[in-house]
Chains A and B, each alone.
Chain A
């Protein structure tokens, strides 16, 4: 059996332009959510006036030609990939044993809609030739494969808000099945554009707390009123333990197992009983060979929607039973907003760092916890995980379409 370890981390998020800054600000309980940096709300009559916008724009770190050739979703993935790859020691890997799996939930929405503006306003002849390679949803993973020279395969599983976690799950499978020794995996999303905001708002999915953007994402709070759209990317370098040890790599932690299920219940709403979510967690634990009693932390999907948060919380309680009283639950979307296809990847980065530091990050903005919540929620300040022994933690990600992904991580 091949063991899979994590040897590099990268991110660009509403909390910071890299992993150390993002993690420090997450442990500090800061919010990355603020009023939109533009006039869209007034100009288009949008009901939502805020989002989790990037702390550092890719244009501040990439070259001008790079930002012109890549959709923002790919730019963010490249920023995160460069950090993760350098963090892993820029390893020499046989290109045919190196893969990339970096997902986006929505794809190059900025490129697509800007190109349509061009057709409508200036004519079809003005559409730029790079439009197609910029808008395709596999563009980020393709650019990552070019960046690192990955020839074992470049994939981009799309499952809405579960995409980033699914990418990590597939990367785990790719290594375990022997198709690759090293895979750069993660997710990215750049959908803070008037159309996606308006469309999510039309579903009644978004918080409308316009007078308090930083307090709008409040998973498990009784006054939660929807999720907050965020943007950014999280990427990790996954590697077979044998390969990592042979090159003396620093090991952050382990991917112990993955569970993926589908609801086949409704195109957008989660199964009200959370059966598919529960099965994903159970399958992941079984796949990992981890007992319920060994789980110390869960980074929940918890997007701050009235219905979704408690379906998941009941599922976690159902899977963990009375042991849930000893499990620290964190909902980091309270600080970052919801990165859609980037969410599962960024929260996997958080889960790995929580295990490394033995410290669960806080959930902010919870002033009156939902009375039905029967898991120990970490509020406002970080809390210590057990100081000794091997630890395991679960990261949940669920997506419109009924996609459920649970990834079990372990300490190094």
Chain B
């Protein structure tokens, strides 16, 4: 059962919060992972690995660099589910 963008955002925000200690409510679609949320590349790869498992999708390494904002990731994951 594919998840909606809102459901993906909620799940992704929970993963980011768990990894970084940020409040899940601060993980909004317009936020940049690096500039706003201060997530380094290793943490980003950790979040990607956990998201792949959570949403049962595959996010190739070459696509990760295009996931600049939380919204980019939500769109990518939502689309990849189909």
Contact = CB atoms under 8 A, between A and B. Distances in A.
A43 interface: no
Interface stretch (A99-107, A124-132, A222-230): A124-132
Of residues A126, A128, A129, which shows the largest number of chain B Cβ atoms within 10 Å of its Cβ? A129
B21 A64 contact: yes
Contacts of B43: 130
A65 B18 contact: yes
Contact of B46 (A63, A122, A125, A128): A128
Interface in B5-20: 18-20
Contacts of A65: 18-21
B12 to A, nearest CB: 16
Contact of B18 (A64, A128, A130): A64
A130 B46 contact: yes
Contact of A129 (B20, B21, B49): B49
* List of 8 A-B pairs having minimum Cβ-Cβ separation, nearest first: A129-B45, A65-B21, A129-B42, A129-B46, A63-B21, A128-B46, A65-B20, A128-B49
Interface of A: 63-65, 68, 122, 125-130, 133
Given A126-B53, A127-B49, 7 more contacts: A64-B18, A68-B18, A128-B46, A128-B50, A129-B45, A130-B46, A133-B42
27 contacts: A63-B21, A64-B18, A64-B21, A65-B18, A65-B19, A65-B20, A65-B21, A68-B18, A68-B19, A122-B53, A125-B49, A125-B58, A126-B49, A126-B52, A126-B53, A127-B49, A128-B46, A128-B49, A128-B50, A129-B42, A129-B45, A129-B46, A129-B49, A130-B42, A130-B43, A130-B46, A133-B42
Interface of B: 18-21, 42-43, 45-46, 49-50, 52-53, 58
